[in-house]
């Protein structure tokens, strides 16, 4: 009976994986992997939450999750590999950094990153249906947003703190006026055109 119980307990270690920062013209892509052993009230798709709610929930997640970890791919890796492969790399790094080895992973989107150390299943709009993916989406977004706010101080004038590197009109104007910064993705067309 005891072995059955331990196997059953182990099967609950399913990681949810999501990323933030695939589309921006600047900054890293950040992924999070989260293993929940119980639902966390209020956790939902990060895009449907206010910044204040995301920040509050991120604090709850890091204290209450069975395990969580972040992974990232830098601008240089994005430019070298392409954004899809760099996102896979960030996700793989997040899973490998977990303190608990998951028996499976649920990945937001249509693709399973190659090389995962456990079986994976892609879940379209998983951040809206799977609590662990939603938790991962919150951690990835809050971490990346904070980093972009810090980069705003290092590279003033681009507005990274406001648009987080995404292709807004204000970002395009700043890019045209100042030229690309060291954290701009040179493989992305709006940046490449200015080189």
In a domain, residue 172? The reply is no
In a domain, residue 170? The reply is no
In a domain, residue 157? The reply is no
In a domain, residue 58? The reply is yes
Parent domain of 55 = 2-144
Number of domains present in the structure of the chain: 1
**Three-state SS at 116:** coil
Q: Which stretches within 65-120 are classed as H helix?
A: 75-81, 83-96
CATH code of the domain in which 95 resides: 3.30.420.10
Q: Phi and psi for 64 in degrees, rounded to 5?
A: -110, -15
In a domain, residue 125? The reply is yes
- pTM beyond 0.95, yes or no: no
What pLDDT shows up at residue 17? 98
The tens digit of pLDDT for each residue in 15-72 reads 999 999 999 999 999 999 999 999 899 999 888 999 999 999 999 999 999 999 999 9
In a domain, residue 116? The reply is yes
């Amino acid at each position: 009976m005891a072995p059955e119980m331990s196997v059953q307990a182990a099967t609950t270690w399913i990681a949810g994986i999501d990323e933030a920062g695939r589309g921006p013209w600047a900054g890293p892509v950040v992924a999070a992997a989260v293993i929940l052993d119980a639902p966390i009230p209020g956790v939902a798709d990060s895009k449907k939450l206010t910044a204040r709610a995301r920040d509050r929930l991120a604090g709850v997640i890091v204290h209450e999750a069975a395990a969580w970890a972040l992974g990232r791919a830098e601008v240089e890796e994005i430019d070298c590999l392409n954004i899809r492969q760099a996102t896979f790399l960030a996700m793989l790094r997040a899973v490998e950094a977990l303190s608990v080895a998951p028996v499976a992973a649920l990945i937001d989107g249509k693709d399973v990153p190659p090389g995962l150390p456990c079986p994976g299943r892609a879940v379209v709009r998983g951040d809206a249906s799977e609590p662990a993916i939603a938790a991962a989406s919150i951690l990835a977004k809050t971490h990346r947003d904070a980093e972009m706010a810090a980069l705003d101080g290092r590279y003033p004038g681009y507005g990274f703190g406001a648009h987080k590197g995404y292709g807004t009109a204000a970002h395009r104007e700043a890019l045209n006026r100042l030229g690309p910064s060291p954290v701009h993705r040179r493989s992305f067309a709006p940046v490449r055109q200015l080189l």
